[in-house]
Structure 1
Amino acid sequence: MVLLRNSEIMEMSEKVMQEKLIEMRKELLTEYTKLSAGGVAENAGKLSEMKKTIARIKTIGGIKGYKING
């Protein structure tokens, strides 16, 4: 998982943003699945950082006028 900075997201095209958003959502779902199965989170802050990155992608995409679904 790569956490993205605002400057990196601003440089992305709409297609790349969409791909990153899908990738981040899949990874977040995988982490939630591990936790719900009774596992322990490897990194406690990872889930919150992933959610924040997803929000950044959606926010910056909206500012740029992209139609980001996900």
Structure 2
Amino acid sequence: MMDVYHEDFRDSIATDVRIKSISEILGLEFNSYSQHESFYLKIAKNVGINGWELDRLLFNFSSEIKLQLSKNKQK
């Protein structure tokens, strides 16, 4: 269960359908799961959070994130 913080998952992103849909809106394509996860882990590092924290943000706010990305893409 990813809702509960666990040390083993602090540097992980679950690149599931939710993450893939965000990547699709951004026009990103990856050749492997590890490349996809690495991309988001780099984002997390750049903003000063770990992978688990970014995963939870993307999970909890995926609808809002996708809406804003779609709006920005249309501009």
Same fold (TM over 0.5): no
Larger Rg over CA atoms: 1
Give the TM-score, by structure 1 length. 0.29
State the TM-score, normalized to the length of structure 2.
Answer: 0.27
Q: Which has the higher contact order (CA 8 A, sep 6+)?
A: 1
